């Protein structure tokens, strides 16, 4: 009898990929995925700690699961991911019905931890030590797209951020291992890989082969059958001329750069410990566009960072106007455990944060629409990923520039690169027509 696992995933692609790995590892010990909570023998919450109330959200979600656990004491309830790494055994104190708490480095130990629950009341694994070889048993929802972790952790300590405390220090995977994994995926039908890391541009392999991020891109570009290479995220301070030139030269590396700026004023960037200036950032954008004229640039913005004056905020708005991003993610600053900015003077009231956030979102919505309108009438290569649930006989896919396009088409096109002419622009997606 197969057992069933239900996983709820919060957070970034790193967490999504961790979930794919957990499903893969669990499969080897007889578990399969279920969509329904009631059916599950094991429920895992893969948590994210990046923004406010993450802990509160976890405990309220656990509260909702409690009756299920009371009805079925044999159900295993586990918490993993970044909040687990941060809250540690405190989770057992606040929610004593939880069976398993495991941090961000414990995935390969999951079967062993589950087994230990046969003879122990609960299991806790929070090792800081990174696991060496990433599991090959990765479960993927989509047949032709895959993530590959290239670097884990972060050394940057931006003053607002919890990640260095939940994911530990930077550690690159050997490039030979990454290239082998990519080859294996391509043999399995994968056309597009996304290289994952909190800071992919600081990738370093001290062993041999591709020693830097540009070298790694070159090695991956040489894999026959692979069509698209993406990566997320790169820190602006490490965006070298060499990386720009290499991207422009390599046909498989997609014309999209997610380059989080966070704030437009040097005063705030300095307080955030971002280690670059507005001027440096704008110069990088300029160089990216000079080398790859059609490149899409996207970003992350934080508003209401402690000490952000009105004039600083105006500079965030002006950077949006100046760069004209293809899309952005914008957030209110929130205090996170361990992150230094929590103790900074000049914390901004919520009402001010909310007003600023709305201003950012309104301005960007207009820019999105204007920029998307410029694409109408042009034809792009699209990788159709799924049938659109809302409109039948419609597919959703992405251009190399990461724009989402919906167009009429059937299942037979899934996983084939097709030319699509853009017919209509919306703020957050495009409509197109398949070119026969
Ligand atoms: N390593 C990535 C960021 C990962 S976190 C990078 O440096 O680009 C994703 C985004 O969450 C960040 O870019 C930032 O905009 C936002 N974020 C992180 N900590 C935050 C906090 N304390 N409050 C609000 N937003 C935050
Ligand atoms: Fe957080 Fe900064 Fe590291 Fe990104 S680079 S994960 S924002 S500390
Ligand atoms: Fe969240 Fe952890 Fe990712 S805090 S954003 S899941 S690294």
Residues 21-49: pLDDT tens digits?
A: 999 999 999 999 999 999 999 999 999 99
d(Cα 62, Cα 66) in Å, to the nearest integer? 6
Domain spans of the chain? Answer: 3-125, 142-254, 261-374, 379-434
Closest Cα partner for 114 from 74, 70, 83, 67? 74
Q: Domain 261-374: which topology? A: Transcription Regulator spoIIAA (3.30.750)
Instruction: Give 7's strand partners.
Output: 44
pLDDT (0 to 100) of residue 73: 93
CATH number for the domain whose boundaries are 142-254 = 3.30.750.210
Question: What pLDDT is stored for residue 1 in this prediction?
Answer: 77
48 labelled ligand-binding = yes
Fold: same for 142-254 and 261-374: yes
pLDDT at 23: 95
Report the sign of the C-alpha dihedral through residues 102, 108, 109, 114, in that order.
positive
Ligand 3 binding pocket, CB closer than 6 Å:
11-12, 14-15, 48-50, 81-82, 162-163, 166-167
Task: With CA atoms as reference, report the closest residue to 276 among 290, 288, 262.
Answer: 262
- pLDDT on residue 312: 98
Compute the C-alpha angle 113/116/118, nearest 5°: 130
Joined tokens for residue 181: 């994994």
Model pLDDT, residue 135 = 55
Is the CB of 336 inside a 6 Å radius of any atom of ligand 1? yes
Which protein residue's CA is at the shortest distance from atom 1 of ligand 3? 48
What separation in angstroms does the CA of 129 have from each of 45, 165, 205, 353, 396? 22, 13, 18, 38, 40
Q: Are 340 and 399 spatial neighbours (Cβ–Cβ below 8 Å)?
A: no
Instruction: Read off the pLDDT of each residue in 325-329 and give the average, rounded to a whole number.
Output: 97
Q: Could you report the per-residue pLDDT of 347-394, keeping only the tens digit for each?
A: 999 999 999 999 999 999 999 999 999 999 999 999 999 998 787 789
Q: Where are the beta strands (DSSP E) in 75-161?
A: 76-81, 100-102, 123-125, 145-149, 151-152
Average pLDDT, the chain: 94
Pick the range with the lowest mean pLDDT from 124-128, 275-279, 328-332, 369-373.
Answer: 124-128
Give yes or no for residue 78 having a pLDDT over 60: yes
Which ligand gives the minimal distance to the CA of 334?
Answer: 1
Percent of the chain with pLDDT over 70: 97
- The verdict on whether residue 82 carries a ligand-binding annotation is yes
Q: Tell me the per-residue pLDDT of 183-192, one tens digit each, with 9 for 90 and over.
A: 999 999 999 9
Distance from Cα 52 to the centre of ligand 2, integer Å? 16
Q: Which residues contact 90 (CB under 8 A, 6 or more apart)?
A: none
DSSP state string for 178-232: HHHHHHHHHHTT--EEEEE-TTGGG-B-SSSS--BHHHHHHHHHT-TT--EEEEE
Mean pLDDT for the stretch of residues 307-327: 98
Residue nearest to atom 7 of ligand 3 (CA): 163
For 422, the enclosing helix (H) or strand (E) is: strand 418-425
Contact 418, 408 (CB under 8 A): no
The arithmetic mean of pLDDT across residues 78-101, rounded, is 96
Q: Is 160 in the pocket of ligand 1 (CB under 6 A)?
A: yes
- Return the half-sphere exposure (C-beta side, CA atoms, 13 A cut-off) of residue 30: 6
* Residue 154 counted as an annotated binding residue: yes
Burial class (CB in 10 A: 0-12, 13-18, 19+), 206: exposed
Cα of 106 vs centre of ligand 1, distance in Å, is 23
CA distance 229 to 309: 40
**Which pLDDT tens digit goes with each residue over 254-273?**
999 999 999 999 999 999 99
Has 158 been labeled as part of a binding site? yes
CATH superfamily of 379-434: Nucleic acid-binding proteins (2.40.50.140)
Is 254 annotated to bind a ligand? Reply is: no
Top pLDDT among 119 and 206 is at 119
Residue 231 beta carbon below 6 angstroms from any ligand 1 atom: no
Average pLDDT over residues 321-328: 98
Identify the burial level of 150 via C-beta atoms within 10 angstroms of its C-beta, where 0-12 means exposed, 13-18 middle and 19 or more buried. Answer: buried
Q: Which ligand is nearest to the CA of 82?
A: 3
Q: How confident is the model at residue 436 (pLDDT cuts 50, 70, 90)?
A: confident
SS3 sequence of 383-406? EEEEECCCCCCEEEEEECCCCEEE
pLDDT (average), residues 304-311 = 98
Q: What is the pLDDT of residues 232-256, one digit of tens each?
A: 999 999 999 999 999 999 999 999 9
DSSP state of 103: -
Report pLDDT for 131. Answer: 59
**DSSP string computed for 58-94:** HHHHHHHHHHHHHH-TT-EEEEEEHHHHHHTTHHHHH
More confident call, 137 vs 205: 205
Grouping H, G, I as helix, E, B as strand and the rest as coil, residue 257 is strand
Query: What pLDDT band is residue 207 in, cutting at 50, 70 and 90?
Result: confident
Is the CATH number 3.40.50.1980 carried by domain 3-125? no
Nearest to 139 by CA among 130, 147, 131: 147
Tens of pLDDT, residue by residue over 110-167, are 999 999 999 999 999 998 766 566 556 788 888 899 999 999 999 999 999 999 999 9
């Amino acid at each position: 009898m197969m057992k069933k696992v239900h996983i709820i995933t919060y957070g970034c692609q790193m967490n999504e990929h961790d979930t794919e790995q957990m499903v893969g590892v669990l499969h080897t010990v007889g578990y399969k995925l279920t969509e329904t909570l009631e059916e599950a023998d094991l429920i895992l919450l893969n948590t994210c700690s990046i923004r406010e109330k993450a802990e509160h959200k976890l405990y309220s979600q656990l509260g909702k699961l409690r009756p299920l656990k009371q009805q079925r004491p044999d159900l295993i309830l586990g918490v993993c991911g970044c909040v687990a790494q941060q809250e540690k055994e405190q989770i057992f104190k606040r929610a004593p019905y939880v069976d398993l708490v495991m941090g961000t480095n414990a995935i390969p130990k999951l079967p062993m931890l589950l087994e230990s629950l046969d003879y122990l009341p609960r299991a806790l694994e929070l090792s800081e030590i990174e696991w060496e070889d990433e599991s090959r048993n990765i479960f993927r929802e989509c047949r032709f797209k895959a993530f590959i972790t290239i670097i884990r952790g972060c050394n940057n300590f931006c003053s607002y951020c919890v990640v260095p405390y939940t994911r530990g220090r930077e550690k690159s995977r050997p490039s030979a291992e990454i290239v082998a994994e990519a080859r294996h995926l391509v043999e399995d039908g994968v056309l597009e890989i996304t290289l994952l890391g909190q800071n992919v541009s600081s990738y370093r392999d001290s062993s041999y082969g591709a020693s830097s991020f540009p070298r790694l891109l070159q090695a991956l570009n040489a894999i026959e059958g692979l069509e698209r290479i993406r990566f997320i995220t790169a820190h602006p301070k490490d965006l070298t001329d060499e990386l720009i030139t290499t991207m422009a030269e390599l046909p498989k590396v997609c014309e999209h750069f997610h380059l989080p700026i966070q704030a437009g004023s040097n005063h705030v960037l300095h307080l955030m410990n971002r280690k670059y200036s507005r001027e440096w950032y704008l110069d990088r954008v300029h160089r990216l566009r000079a080398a790859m004229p059609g490149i899409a640039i996207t970003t992350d913005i934080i508003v209401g960072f402690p000490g952000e004056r009105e004039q600083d905020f105006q500079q965030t708005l002006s950077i949006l106007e100046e760069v004209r991003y293809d899309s952005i993610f914008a957030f209110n600053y929130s205090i996170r455990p361990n992150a230094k900015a929590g103790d900074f003077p000049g914390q901004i009231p919520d009402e001010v944060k909310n007003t600023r956030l709305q201003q950012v979102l309104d301005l960007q919505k207009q820019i999105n629409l204007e920029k998307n309108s410029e694409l109408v009438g042009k034809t792009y290569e699209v990788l159709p990923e799924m049938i659109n649930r809302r409109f039948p006989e419609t597919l959703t896919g992405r251009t190399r520039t990461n724009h989402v396009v919906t167009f009429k088409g059937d299942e037979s096109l899934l996983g084939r690169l097709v030319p699509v002419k853009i017919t209509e622009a919306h703020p957050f997606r495009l409509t197109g027509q398949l070119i026969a």
